[in-house]
Structure 1
Amino acid sequence: MRNIQCLKDFNQIEKVYPSDFIQYLRNEFFSLFEYLSNGESEDDFILPLYQSIVIMEESIELENSLASNLEYIEEISLVVTSCLRIGIYNSEDVQLHYYLLSKPVSK
C-alpha cells in the first residue's frame, strides 16, 4: 500500500506504475489541491493522512477495503490500464483508494 500526500510522492511511483495511471492520479491530486488548499503553493501542499490518495497493491488490501466503510466503488478505464476508484468513509470525509486492475503487456 502506498500513500500519496504531496507532489514529491509521485517521484517514488512514476517508474512503478503505468504512465496513464500516474497521470490520472496526478489529476486527482490537483483536484484535491484546488478544493483543499489554503493558499499554499502546489509544491508545499500536503494532504492530511486521512485524505491521502491510497494505492492498494495487494488483493488482500482490496478485500479489506471492501469490508470497511465503503462509500462507493467505480471502475475507471484509462488509455492502457484500468483501475478501481474506491471511496472509503474516513474521519468524516471520503478517502480515495485505487487498485490497478490491468497492467500493460511488456514487449
Structure 2
Amino acid sequence: MTVLVTGASSGIGRAIAIRLAESGENVVAGVRRLSDAPVHSRIRPVALDVTDAAQLAAAAKGFGPLSGLVNNAGITFSGPLEQGLLHLQVTGSVTRPGRPVWS
C-alpha cells in the first residue's frame, strides 16, 4: 500500500507521514523542498508544490497506484486588517476500503 501525503515538510503533514511509515505504509511525501522531507526507510520524498499544475502532473506519473491520500498542503496569506485575511487549508482523510489506515 502506498499513501501520498501532501504538505509533509512540517507540522501535521510531517507527523502523519512519519506515523504512516512507522505503521508499515509506504509513503510518498510531497514537500516543496526535498531537504525538508521527513526521513524514514518507507518515506519517498517528492518535490510537490500543489499550486503548480505542471509539477502536479509530472509528479503524478511517478507515484504508481495509491491506496490513500492525505491532502494536507495549505498556505496562509496575511496582510493589514483592512485588506482582510485569507486562509486556505485543504485537508483530507486517509482510509482504505473498509477500514481506516490507523485508529
Larger helix proportion, structure 1 or 2?
Answer: 1
Q: TM-score, normalised by structure 2?
A: 0.34
Q: TM-score, normalised by structure 1?
A: 0.33
